[in-house]
A = this chain, B = another copy of it.
Amino acid sequence: MNRLPDSELVLVPGGTLITASAEEGRALALKFARHTIHNLQPDLDVLKGGRPNYSTNPDSLIAAGQVVAIEFQTIAAANNYWR
């Protein structure tokens, strides 16, 4: 198994939900979504093998976008919406 490096398996990269800006908060939401999947499937070869199907399929991209939207809800609330 071609295991992902530990840095890709950290569940909360940076260790906090607090970010300096909305843009960074959204980037964190994307990382959350990705790192969850890394923990569910830590074999890089398997992940790469699935990528062509996933990344060219609109329905898969929409489903991934939904996960990001949910993660962002949490991060945005944590940051009091960067008001």
Contact = CB atoms under 8 A, between A and B. Distances in A.
Interface in A35-69: 36-37, 39-41, 46, 49-51, 53-69
Chain A contact-residue range equals 35 or more
A54 B60 CA distance: 11
27 contacts: A11-B23, A11-B26, A12-B23, A15-B22, A17-B76, A17-B81, A18-B83, A26-B36, A30-B39, A37-B62, A41-B56, A46-B55, A50-B56, A51-B58, A54-B59, A59-B60, A62-B67, A63-B63, A65-B67, A66-B66, A66-B70, A69-B70, A71-B72, A73-B73, A73-B74, A77-B77, A78-B81
Question: Top 10 A-B pairs ranked by shortest CB distance?
Answer: A78-B81, A54-B58, A11-B26, A69-B70, A50-B58, A12-B22, A36-B65, A12-B23, A62-B63, A66-B67
